[in-house]
């Protein structure tokens, strides 16, 4: 399962709520491989606190899913030229780059945590 979220709700102080729901979803889906895309930078908001909040969200996202062995984070390495003229939505090149990132992540196997077996006497 691939989870891609945008940056719309991050500026409405919904960061912790979204991370809480994601954590619950991960906890309830232990037998499902989950890939989560980081939130992209907002290029339509110059010198805005929203982009600082996006950085904070992405950092917290790594902490929330760090302990789960079934979750892989896809780093959205997008640049300004991957977005439309107004800077909020992806253009064709940006969508192709996102698809390639997702495809490459699917091809590489997920690193599951090794569970140590216990011995019954």
- What per-residue confidence (pLDDT) applies to 49? 82
Report the C-alpha gap between 101 and 25 in whole angstroms: 23
Q: What digits encode the pLDDT tens for the residues 66-89?
A: 888 889 999 988 899 999 988 888
- What per-residue confidence (pLDDT) applies to 95? 92
pLDDT at residue 113 is higher than 90:
no
Rounded to 10 degrees, the C-alpha dihedral 84/85/89/95 comes to 10
Domain ranges of the chain: 2-107
- CATH T-level assignment (fold) for domain 2-107: Rossmann fold (3.40.50)
Specify the DSSP class assigned to residue 98.
H
Question: Within a 10 A sphere around the Cβ of 41, how many other Cβ atoms?
Answer: 19
Mean pLDDT value of segment 19-40: 89
**Confidence category of residue 112, pLDDT binned at 50, 70, 90:** low
Q: Closest Cα to residue 68, out of 116, 29, 109? A: 29
Q: Closest Cα to residue 37, out of 82, 1, 8, 70? A: 1
User: Which of 9-13, 37-41, 94-98 has the lowest average pLDDT?
Assistant: 9-13
pLDDT at residue 100 is higher than 90:
yes
pLDDT at residue 41 is higher than 60:
yes
């Amino acid at each position: 399962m691939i989870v891609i979220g945008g940056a719309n709700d991050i500026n409405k102080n919904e960061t912790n709520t979204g991370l809480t729901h994601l954590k619950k979803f991960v906890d309830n889906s232990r037998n499902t491989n989950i890939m989560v895309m980081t939130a992209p930078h907002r290029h339509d908001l110059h010198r805005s606190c929203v982009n600082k909040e996006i950085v904070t969200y992405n950092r917290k996202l790594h902490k929330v899913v760090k302990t789960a062995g079934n979750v892989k984070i896809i780093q959205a390495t997008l640049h300004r030229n991957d977005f439309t003229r107004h800077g909020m939505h992806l253009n064709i090149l940006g969508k192709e780059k996102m698809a390639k990132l997702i495809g490459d992540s699917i091809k590489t196997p997920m690193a599951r945590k090794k569970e140590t077996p216990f011995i019954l006497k």
